[in-house]
Amino acid sequence: MSNHIASKFSSPYDSTGFLLWRVSSAWQRSIRDALENLGLTHAQFVLLANLGSLETTGEVTQVKLAERIGADVMTTSSLVRSMEQKGYLLRAKQMSDARANTLQLSKTGLALVRKAIPLVEKADELFFANLEQSNVFKLELQRLIGKETP
């Protein structure tokens, strides 16, 4: 019985998907390490930072936030509940639709995000420092997620 697995690649390192998996895992570790002392997970940071960003454009609902961060509504709801319990955001019923919740950062959440953003940006800078064409890489990533402009 052969243990051979058929693949068109002679090595996993010839696979774009495998490389993306490895790069993503390494990058996530670097972000996790950067946020460790603040007691935030990467997902919590993404939620809070994007909530803060969206607040500048008007009322933010959980659905709008979920769409922005690319997470399903149930995952977003769970993160929102956790962040609300920690006092990092405020949730209220939307005036025009009682089924929808509006969100905003609390003062504590805003202070935390303001501490976290420079740490994450520095971790990103260090992690991606060896890319020769980082702007091209960024544009290609945006294209892959269907977001042509920042």
Q: What is the pLDDT along the chain (150 residues), one digit of tens a residue?
A: 567 778 888 888 889 999 999 999 999 999 999 999 999 999 999 999 999 999 998 889 999 999 999 999 999 999 999 999 999 999 987 666 666 789 999 999 999 999 999 999 999 999 999 988 888 998 999 999 887 654
For residue 149, what pLDDT is reported? 55
Supply the pLDDT for residue 150: 46
In 3D space, the residue among 85, 45, 49, 77 whose CA is nearest the CA of residue 61 turns out to be 77
Q: What is the per-residue pLDDT for 77?
A: 93
**CA-to-CA distance for 126 and 120, rounded, in angstroms?**
10
Q: How many CB atoms lie under 10 A from the CB of residue 108?
A: 12
How far apart (Å, rounded) are the C-alpha atoms in residues 22 and 13?
A: 9
User: What angle separates helix 42-55 from helix 107-127, to the nearest 10 degrees?
Assistant: 110
pLDDT confidence of residue 12: 86
Task: Specify the pLDDT at position 128.
Answer: 94
- pLDDT number for residue 1: 59
